[in-house]
Amino acid sequence: MKHLIWIGAVIVAVLLFVFFAGNKEEPADVPAESAATVVEEVGDSIDEASAIVDEASSETVVVVEESASEAEPADEAIILAVADDAAAARDWQFSEGKHYVRMVPTQPTVGGADKIEVAEFFWYGCPHCYDLEPFINEWAEGKDPNVRFVRVPATWNELVRLHGQLYYTEEVLIRNGVIKDPAGFRDTIFKEYHQRGNRMTSEGAIQKLFARFDVSEDEFQRTWNSFEVNQKLRVADDLSRRYSISSVPAIVVNGKYRAGAAEAGSYPKLMELIDELTVREGLR
């Protein structure tokens, strides 16, 4: 393109030179040699311009569109990005919707986020909770150190809530070292209800059971009516609602997965399901 512009300028200059040279009155005494020299220079300029035009015209100008500047690749399948999900790559024994329910959104837990929490919702008067007891106790003894196990009592009605208050009074007195045999105390409560027919329908009946484990009446009353126990009951109310607990025993893993023995198939299978769900949480 630059060559063509330059050639055009030369041709115009030559034509103007010839035009004005032809219209000037030449002095009578112009030497013949000078005139010949001028004609020769003009001729040379025209010849040079013609040569440049010929050279430029011999070049082929190709206009290339931007989209055609590179060869089009062969058709390829579009591959979507896939997250590196270790959990998805495993061959899981249990499946969502069949063996457990995933709660959306994930709900709060009793403890902090430093460990994976397994919560057992129970009632001392539930025969299935009584049957589950040896299985869940054995599992809790051998659980992973990164797993926290908590029990949450049901609080559906007045009697069930009374037994929930019993449980949290028991929990505080165990933590404070007042009850020396936690496993024996818990076993006694289950047996009182299911084997001896003691329904523990009043505060007085419950206090007598604590007295059998050397808990004084003053220690019992102070703990039974404490702010801490009442606060724990409020948390149990809230979690039961959030987790949609409608029957016990129920297991909730990290506020996300809810399951029971009926869904898992048996109590041993429920223990396997708990382990699998905690592994899932560890891989997230």
At 67-118, the pLDDT tens digits run 444 444 444 443 433 334 555 568 899 999 999 999 999 999 999 999 999 9
The answer to whether residue 283 scores a pLDDT higher than 60 is yes
Mean pLDDT, range 194-205, rounded to an integer: 98
Long-range Cβ pairs for the range 187-192 (8 Å, 24+): 187/133, 188/212, 188/213, 189/124, 190/124, 190/129, 190/130, 190/133
Residue 216 lies in a domain: yes
Position 82 in a domain: no
The pLDDT value given to residue 80: 38
Statement to judge: residues 180 and 238 lie in one domain: yes
Q: Are residues 117 and 258 in the same domain?
A: yes
152 occurs within a structural domain: yes
Instruction: Identify the residue whose tokens are 């009697």.
Output: 159
For the chain, the domain total comes to 2
CA distance to 4, 10, 70, per residue, from 57 (Å): 9, 16, 27
The answer to the question of residue 84 being in a domain is no
Distance CA(59)–CA(2), nearest Å, equals: 13
Q: Is residue 67 part of a domain?
A: no
Q: Are residues 237 and 151 in the same domain?
A: yes
Q: What is the mean pLDDT of the chain?
A: 81
Report residue 100 CA to chain centroid gap: 20
One domain, residues 123 and 7 = no
Domain that holds residue 125: 96-283
What confidence score (pLDDT) does residue 65 get? 40
Stretch 118-128: mean pLDDT? 98
pLDDT (0 to 100) of residue 87 = 57
Residue 220 has pLDDT above 50, yes or no: yes
75 is written with which tokens? 């058709």
174 and 252 housed in the same domain: yes
pLDDT for residue 234 is more than 60:
yes
The per-residue pLDDT for range 240-256, each reduced to its tens digit, is 999 999 999 999 999 99
d(CA 204, CA 263): 38
- The answer to whether residue 115 sits within a structural domain is yes
Q: How much is the pLDDT for 90? A: 81
54, 141: one domain: no
Confidence of residue 9 (pLDDT cuts 50, 70, 90): low
Q: Domain check: are 129 and 45 in the same one? A: no
If you average pLDDT over residues 198-203, what whole number do you get? 98
Give domain status of residue 163, yes or no: yes
Residue 73 domain flag: no
CATH number for position 234: 3.40.30.10
Same domain, 130 and 40: no
| Same-domain status, 123 and 205 | yes
Q: How confident is the model at residue 30 (pLDDT cuts 50, 70, 90)?
A: very low
CA distances, 132 to each of 138, 250, 262, 280 (Å): 10, 10, 12, 23
> Do 259 and 202 lie in a common domain?
yes
Regarding pTM above 0.75, the answer is no
164 & 49 share domain: no
Looking at the structure, tell me whether residues 140 and 50 fall in a common domain: no
